[in-house]
Chain A
């Protein structure tokens, strides 16, 4: 399954919203009806961290300004109000079937 993200980079003013798109080459709907799509953030110099699992579930400790949506093959990560600490590279990933695959990454910078 090929994962395609857009844009590959974006520059956002603090307090403004941001949106990242992820498209999969085939449906990510599991037999349970749930959508198998994760979002990860890799901050500069750090290991990746889980933001969203199953398309829209925030991981423990993730601020509610982050939200995930979408279905089938089209997904979106939204940050309602970007903060300086949100800089880094955002990846979508499909854990539906092996080989699990990541998008190319979207680099978020602060203006």
Chain B
């Protein structure tokens, strides 16, 4: 149980284009999902908290117009990196919290490796 998928697992795009990453909770409902970024050999950096049916909450320093988040259903959140640049190259990981459980553990997806050329 508590499986989260991400698609794609790897993506290479050209500078200036946009890339969409999908995060799905496969066997539970998630009113709250989270998007993280991880640099090589570094810990997780929370980018934003995604709430189903409402606007995402972005962490300080994260550009909301560059990293568009949509959480349209209880099982799907998307992150769109707009006008990507090489410095956006990173490992992006989503997580989800099971809405029907009283605990706060997050279940993570396998991650998406973004390379911007």
Our verdict on whether A and B bind, yes or no, reads: no
Interface residues of A, Cβ cutoff 8 Å to B: none
